[in-house]
């Protein structure tokens, strides 16, 4: 349940920044707007994972942050590529592409966090 709550909050941060980037700041590329938004979502997700989801995880904050960054960096690139192809190249609605990319992200991040980052 904690993972789901953290995921909803991080996704809301990510989507909120994406929306601001596209509608207010008028980024010309959904892929680039998503990459910037992903940085905000990743930060929210790390803090939530470390202090809320995996509270019993032992380990150095710096080491966990580095592992988390690597994992989420790879996931963010995948997320951005999905939006780039879905929205910029195929001209489909960015909201549907965001949902598809986020579903893939959820599966990859849970397994990666549990087994690689927080070792629980």
The residues near 58 (Cβ < 8 Å, ≥ 6 apart) are 119
- Which tens digit of pLDDT belongs to each residue from 26-70? 999 998 998 899 889 988 988 998 889 987 667 788 999 999 999
Q: Given pLDDT bands bounded at 50, 70 and 90, which one contains residue 72?
A: confident
* Percentage, residues of the chain above pLDDT 90: 48
* Percentage, residues of the chain above pLDDT 70: 98
Burial 52-77 (b: 16+ CB within 10 A, else e): ebbeebeeeeeebeebbeebbeebbe
Segment of 17-21, 48-52, 58-62, 104-108 carrying the highest mean pLDDT: 17-21
Q: Is the pLDDT of residue 77 over 70?
A: yes
The residues near 96 (Cβ < 8 Å, ≥ 6 apart) are 86
Number of structural domains found in the chain: 1
The predicted structure's pLDDT at residue 84: 92
Identify the domain containing residue 57 by its residue range: 2-117
Query: Cα–Cα distance between 85 and 31 in angstroms, integer?
Result: 8
Q: Is the pLDDT of residue 96 over 90?
A: yes
Q: Which of 75, 2, 20 is nearest to 42 (CA)?
A: 75
């Amino acid at each position: 349940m904690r993972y789901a709550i953290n995921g909803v909050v991080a996704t809301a941060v990510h989507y909120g920044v994406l929306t601001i980037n596209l509608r207010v700041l008028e980024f010309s590329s959904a892929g680039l707007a998503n990459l910037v938004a992903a940085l905000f979502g990743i930060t929210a997700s790390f803090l939530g994972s470390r202090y809320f989801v995996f509270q019993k995880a032992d380990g150095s904050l710096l080491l966990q942050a580095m592992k988390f960054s690597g994992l989420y960096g790879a996931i963010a690139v995948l997320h951005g590529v999905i939006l780039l192809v879905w929205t910029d190249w195929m001209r489909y609605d960015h909201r549907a592409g965001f949902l598809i990319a986020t579903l893939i992200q959820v599966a990859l991040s849970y397994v990666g966090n549990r087994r690689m980052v927080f070792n629980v």
